[in-house]
Amino acid sequence: MTDPRIGAFARLASGNVEPKRTIYGNISKLTRVAHGISYDPARDEIWASEPLASSVVAFAAGTHGEVPPLRVIQGPKTQIHQPWGLQVDDLHHELVVADHATSNILIFPWDANGNVAPLRVIGGPRTKMRALADVAVDPRHNLLVAVTYSQNLPGGGGTGPLTAKFEQAEAAQPGGIFIFDRTANGNVPPKALIAGPHTGIRTPSGVQVWGGRIYAVVGNAGHEDPYVLAGDLPRKGCMGPPPPSLTGGSPDAFIGVWKITDNGDVGPLFVIHGPASQMVAPVGIALNPGAGELYVTDGGVGATFTFLAPQFF
């Protein structure tokens, strides 16, 4: 059983410490899991994605206790099914949402509320995206950067309707970092795709952009189901059930940094990885360039890690 909540900690907090503030309770509309948490400094607000409720919710950043959200985006017009990562573009007053179920990037007005249609939608076979995990916006360079667990092979088709996830599950290759024009709309190809064996990327899960660089957390986690999706036959070469782990932790997890001008099978400029990092199944990433710090949440150990790496910025 989990305790749905958003906790705010002191920046220098370390160890088994209590949060300074907590948002929780039924009226908060927080569900069992929020795959994405984003802070909007321009309006001092916190956004959270709720994949089990097909919604995104906003709170005043100083909120504490069992309180209702300021705004809720939810309903059939929104095209939100399983929202994961999200981020606010303060310069252009937009909210960008990554939908895992449809692999669509949805762009809303930053003050959207209720059952409202997105301003733009990036999605379809030409995007090559499948199992979208997170998205970041670079308003200065007019870019959207997304990470996906996998990508469609030529002719494999897009994720499209929810049922197509099962039909297309076999027509995919390891994930990557997808770069689009910020104002892109519809079924459009990425202007750049960072993917391939030299990148080290298999299943990236979080991304941020700052100062002309892309910061991605690559969990490389998960297991292959022993049975064919939507079927009852063992996969070819199946050697038995997956490890008894909900996290799918991987020793290959890392934090990587790329340039926004990179394209193709390009290795990262900087990397944090290995046993000393203590990462097992890292998911989310946040940046504090002024302090030279990176913050990573890890579902495998139930912790948030702070890394001091001023050279990354």
Single pTM value for the model: 0.85
Most confident of 30-39, 184-193, 249-258: 184-193
DSSP structural state of residue 231 = S
CA gap 33, 1 in Å, rounded? 11
Q: Please enumerate in sequence order all residues whose Cβ is within 8 A of that of 204, keeping only pairs 6 or more positions apart, or say none.
A: 133, 134, 147, 148, 149, 175, 176, 177, 216, 217, 218, 219
- pLDDT average, residue stretch 111-131: 96
What percent of the chain is modeled with pLDDT above 70? 83
Round to whole Å and give the CA distance between 55 and 173.
Answer: 29
**154 pLDDT higher than 80:** no
* Predicted confidence (pLDDT) at residue 85 exceeds the cutoff of 60: yes
Cβ proximity of 219 and 237 under 8 Å: no
Write the single-letter amino acid at 202: R
CA atoms within 13 A on the CB side of 295: 15
Phi and psi at residue 125, in whole multiples of 5°? -60, -35
Confidence of residue 163 (pLDDT cuts 50, 70, 90): very low
Domain locations in the chain as residue ranges: 1-100, 123-313
| pLDDT value, residue 108 | 98
Would you state the pLDDT for residue 162? 45
Is the alpha carbon torsion for 299, 149, 256, 280 positive or negative? positive
pLDDT of residue 167: 43
Q: With cut-offs at 50, 70 and 90, classify the pLDDT of residue 226.
A: very low
> What is the CB neighbour count within 10 angstroms for residue 277?
17
Kindly state the percentage of the chain with pLDDT values over 90: 57
Residue 153 pLDDT: 62
Q: 1-100 — its CATH code? A: 2.40.10
Per-residue pLDDT reduced to its tens digit, 95-105: 999 999 999 99
